[in-house]
Amino acid sequence: MSDMDRLTVAGTGAFGPAAGADYLENNCVEEPVKLCEFKKMSGRVLKTVDSVYQEVDSVEECRELCLNSPFRCHSYDYGDTGESVCRLSHHSRATLVDIQEPYLAVPESSTYELSSCYNVSIDCRSGDMVAKIKTSRLFTGKIYAKGSPNSCVQDVTGSLEFELQMAYDDVECNVKHQGLGKYLNDVVIQHHDTIVTSSDLGLAVTCQYDLTNKSVANEVDLGVHGEVRPALTEEVIVDSPNVAMKITDRRGSDVLPSAEVGDPLALRFEILDKDSPYEIFVRELVAMDGVDSAEIVLIDSDGCPTDHFIMGPLYKSAESGKVLLSYFDAFKFPSSEVVQFRALVTPCMPTCDPVQCDTEDASGELRSVNSFGKRRRRRSSSSREDLLLVQTIQITDKFGFNGAKPRHNSSADFLGGEPSTVYMPSQPDTGFCLNLAGVIIAGVVFIAVQLAVVVAWTVVWQRKRSGSKLYSDGTSSISAPGRTDSLCKIYEAGYARRF
């Protein structure tokens, strides 16, 4: 007997074959409705399901049918096999690893798969409150009070149950006191040790001491609603070849300098000269915050992604071999809303060979993928061909706590400066930094010089014209009598007058 199943240990590699053993799993037990998160898988639906409902009004109603089904529903799809048709299944990717081709590829279809569920309770004590969490999947990460990710925090490693104790007199946990006997605080359940992702959960917990103990928990929808609004981004060009790094949406459109956690984004590396003989590869891609220099390595020195749940491998765009793309969902650091990306880009000619990377899929198995990042052959301690590209974006969370104010970064260089800068680290003595303010100042100076030249030329031309007019007037007054005398001589010469 075990309280674990294939879904509980999915992705950990704990479930494997065993000779002479039979594994039985209960899929009929009814579980209470909890805070559950579903992940969307596009382009495929299950071939067979357990239940089919017709005349379902919306995908949200289909989701509720899955959560309240008489069996353990782990996935559903809506409107893909018929109008207003909702299909439920107890299967997911973790339970289908031994079945060949369980999915049917259907363009523009989607299957929503249960990721994890949380059962939250609050223990209100005499001097503190304790948030207790039970999950349906082994959890590794941390739970902390919002605004205090380093001082009021509990680290969790491979556990189904964990808790956070928040004393009322603890300044670090910042428990708020409202009214008579009412205490409340905001709690964040974070899966990654360093950054906030779309899989994380925000809770508002409350203790009321003039009533019986009760638990109050609010689920925050971290899904993406609507499209990412496109806007202009700034980019700086470096020499030989001209390379730019941009943050775009999944369709390649430019995005605003800010986004929300979970927004589907793409990191785009592009050679701007379409006729360039070069291609590029990327390595040592690092994400940094703007407060205390916390950082996370996304692409290592070998050119492979370190955590494919945060950022996938780099691959060539279908439109051009001179464009590298990597998809990711917007994330942020707990202590800052600024995320700065830095990457080393190396040109190669005529083509760049991809590197083989081993990544772990949803079932915990390793598979090999290509990534266009690669370690260079070492010719010297520093290569003059390497380019350091920097791009900054502001990411806000979606927890939506009442009265919460956005945390502003104390570094004016990140929020007040330009969102894009490129450096040449291999040329520290001769390098330069170009930003929008410098371009504007240079343009104003250039226009002022041109205006001064035009004014000076106009003054000189007017003076020259005035002098020419005076000279012509003097000449006419002197020569007029001569012309009269000549006419008289002509008449006296015998020409007949005409009447």
**Range 242-257 average pLDDT:** 81
How high is the pLDDT of residue 235?
54
Indicate whether 59 pLDDT > 60. yes
Q: Whole domain around residue 251: which residue ranges?
A: 243-434
Q: pTM score > 0.85 for this model?
A: no
Q: What is the DSSP string of 423-440?
A: E-TT-TTT-----HHHHH
Contact 349, 367 (CB under 8 A): no
CA distance 202 to 216: 12
- Torsion, Cα 234 238 241 245, to 10 degrees, reads -30
Residues 6+ apart with CB under 8 A from 219: 35, 201, 203
Identify whether residues 337 and 361 lie together within a single domain.
Answer: yes
The answer to whether position 238 is within a domain reads no
Indicate whether 480 pLDDT > 60. no
Residues 6+ apart with CB under 8 A from 493: none
Indicate whether 382 pLDDT > 50. no
Identify whether residues 352 and 322 lie together within a single domain.
Answer: yes
Q: How many CB atoms lie within 10 A of CB 328?
A: 20
How high is the pLDDT of residue 251?
80
Phi, psi angles (nearest 5°) of residue 291: -115, -65
**Range 384-390 average pLDDT:** 72
Identify whether residues 298 and 372 lie together within a single domain.
Answer: yes
How high is the pLDDT of residue 171?
74
Contact 256, 231 (CB under 8 A): yes
Identify whether residues 347 and 254 lie together within a single domain.
Answer: yes
Choosing from 151, 183, 208, the residue where a domain stops is 208
CA distance 343 to 341: 7
Our count of domains for the chain comes to: 4
**Range 117-139 average pLDDT:** 89
Contact 325, 373 (CB under 8 A): no
209 vs 285 pLDDT, higher one: 285
The answer to whether position 296 is within a domain reads yes
Average pLDDT of the chain?
Answer: 76
Q: How many CB atoms lie within 10 A of CB 8?
A: 18
Q: How confident is the model at residue 388 (pLDDT cuts 50, 70, 90)?
A: confident
384 vs 11 pLDDT, higher one: 11
How high is the pLDDT of residue 380?
38
The answer to whether position 309 is within a domain reads yes
The answer to whether position 218 is within a domain reads no
How high is the pLDDT of residue 404?
46
Indicate whether 486 pLDDT > 60. no
pLDDT tens digit sequence for 272-330: 888 888 888 888 899 988 665 678 899 988 888 888 888 888 888 888 878 898 999 99
